[in-house]
């Protein structure tokens, strides 16, 4: 395999981990990392958290780049092709197409992630932003520095983190959510409401079950008009209504695309030597025996590594199975979830979500533990992830919970 070329499209977390894993596995051929953004690969989670925080006068937020250009080029021998979105894929000719030419590959990892969904009809209105890239974060941070009255459209994780950052600066913040409760898809209705209580406790106005009719302003946003006829004054509107897998460039490639690049358990697309990883990949997760597309840091990193190893040595390809995990920081609290949020029953086994700063909720599907959500449960969440990995039954999970948080479970 020494003379082969690995091309990775998407120069972010999954793509970088793919390139790193290839070298770690002893791959000595060429590695080209192609990225649409001009930036070196950087980390996204801090962009809606520490990156937005107020700093002492004159200080700038810390860079979130993973590695320097020198390390990437000289130590890892990665050729960087940045600011160059792939525009097409010719699987018959083993070529990735770029505006400036083409790149031949022997093995390919697709890691183009996802792009933020935008609010229709807001193009060209200043003060309206999504938050997906570091360029977005720079603009949002600038607006917060200027004291913007902030409206967040969508009470998902990223939007909620932005709201928390704005509140920490003492700004007026309203979060608008079209669904009756926030985070329905991520953690379910009941626990979504429990997380959302953090907004109210911290002085953020949360309005659920109301849509956005229009954004008004003369060149720059001045107010958000709601479907119930009321409006909220705004200098900054952050739109956090989800992300769309970045698959446009694969049109006509013959790859199966359906809410992401469809892959088997090995992250294989079905086309010789072409694998996918990260937010763009929808793969069969053997751990839960279902097809999933995650938008979580941990799985993107892990999938990148697995996809590269499998692409370079398909004969010994291994499946990627995982218990999904994500975290989110709101105000001074950490929300963590492991597993899947589909549940026949949710049991709070420690703390009271209405009043406490720490609680734990177990999700049951059939007779199996399917998920665990915690607020400030950093000391136990990975233990529950271990239970999920072992496919623990509901009874075992309750027994474990009783041994850890005895009194509360007994009362539940």
Residue 212 CA: distances (Å) to CA of 109, 150, 155, 217:
38, 15, 13, 15
Smallest distance, ligand FAD to C-beta of residue 149, A? 21
Residues 375, 359 contacting (CB under 8 angstroms)? yes
Q: How many CB atoms lie within 10 A of CB 38?
A: 9
Cβ proximity to ligand FAD: between 32 and 370 the closer is 32
CA 296, chain centre distance (Å): 4
Length of the chain as a residue count: 412
Cβ proximity to ligand FAD: between 297 and 363 the closer is 297
Smallest distance, ligand FAD to C-beta of residue 251, A? 11
Cβ proximity to ligand FAD: between 329 and 398 the closer is 329
Cβ proximity to ligand FAD: between 229 and 252 the closer is 252
Smallest distance, ligand FAD to C-beta of residue 207, A? 22
Smallest distance, ligand FAD to C-beta of residue 20, A? 12
Cβ proximity to ligand FAD: between 335 and 409 the closer is 335
Half-sphere exposure of 202 (CA within 13 A, CB side): 25
Helix (H) or strand (E) run with residue 184 in it: helix 184-187
The single-letter DSSP state of residue 46 is: G
Q: Is 87 helix (H, G, I), strand (E, B) or coil?
A: strand
Cβ proximity to ligand FAD: between 37 and 65 the closer is 37
Smallest distance, ligand FAD to C-beta of residue 284, A? 18
Nearest 5°: phi and psi at 371? -165, 160
- Whole-angstrom Cα distance, residue 230 to residue 214? 11
- Could you list the residues that contact ligand FAD (CB under 6 A)? 9-15, 34-37, 44-45, 47-48, 85-86, 111-114, 131-132, 158, 246, 249, 278-279, 295-297, 300, 326-328
Residues 184, 266 contacting (CB under 8 angstroms)? no
Spatial neighbors of 180 by CB under 8 A, at least 6 apart, are 189, 208, 209
Smallest distance, ligand FAD to C-beta of residue 36, A? 4
Smallest distance, ligand FAD to C-beta of residue 159, A? 10
CA 370, chain centre distance (Å): 20
Cβ proximity to ligand FAD: between 62 and 352 the closer is 62
């Amino acid at each position: 395999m020494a003379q082969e070329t690995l091309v990775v499209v998407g120069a972010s977390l999954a793509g970088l981990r793919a390139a790193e894993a290839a070298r770690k596995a002893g791959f000595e051929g060429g590695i080209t990392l192609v990225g649409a953004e001009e930036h070196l690969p950087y980390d996204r989670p801090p962009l809606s958290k520490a990156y937005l925080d107020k700093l002492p006068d004159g200080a700038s937020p810390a860079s979130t780049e993973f590695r320097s250009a020198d390390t990437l080029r000289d130590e890892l021998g990665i050729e960087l092709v940045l600011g160059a979105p792939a525009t097409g894929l010719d699987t018959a000719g083993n070529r990735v197409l770029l505006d400036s030419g083409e790149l031949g590959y022997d093995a390919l990892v697709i890691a183009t992630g996802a792009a933020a969904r935008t609010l229709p009809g807001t193009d060209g209105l200043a003060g309206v932003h999504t938050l997906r890239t570091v360029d977005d974060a720079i603009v949002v941070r600038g607006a917060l520095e200027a004291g913007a009255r902030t409206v967040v459209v969508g009470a998902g994780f990223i939007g909620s983190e932005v709201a928390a950052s704005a509140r920490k600066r003492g700004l007026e913040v309203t979060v608008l959510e079209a669904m009756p409760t926030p985070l329905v898809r991520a953690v379910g209705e009941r626990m979504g409401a429990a997380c959302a209580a953090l907004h109210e406790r911290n002085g953020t106005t949360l309005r659920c079950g109301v849509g956005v009719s229009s954004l008004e302003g003369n060149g720059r946003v001045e107010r958000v008009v709601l479907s119930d006829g009321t409006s909220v004054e705004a200098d900054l509107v952050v739109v956090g209504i989800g992300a769309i897998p970045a698959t446009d460039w694969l049109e006509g490639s013959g790859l199966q695309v359906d809410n992401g690049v469809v892959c088997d358990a090995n992250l294989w697309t079905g086309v010789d030597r072409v694998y996918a990883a990260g937010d763009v990949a929808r793969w069969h997760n053997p751990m839960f025996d279902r097809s999933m597309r995650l938008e979580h840091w941990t799985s993107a990193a892990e999938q990148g590594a697995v996809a590269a190893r499998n692409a370079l040595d398909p004969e010994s390809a291994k499946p990627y199975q995982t218990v999904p995990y994500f975290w989110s920081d709101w105000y001074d609290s950490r929300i963590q979830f492991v597993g899947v949020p589909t549940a026949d029953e949710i049991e709070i086994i420690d703390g009271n979500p209405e009043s406490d700063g720490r609680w734990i909720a177990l999700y049951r599907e059939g007779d199996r533990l399917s998920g665990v959500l915690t607020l400030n449960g950093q000391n136990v969440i990975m233990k529950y992830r271990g239970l999920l990995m072992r496919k623990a039954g509901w009874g075992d999970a309750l027994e474990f919970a009783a041994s850890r948080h005895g009194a509360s479970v007994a009362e539940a």
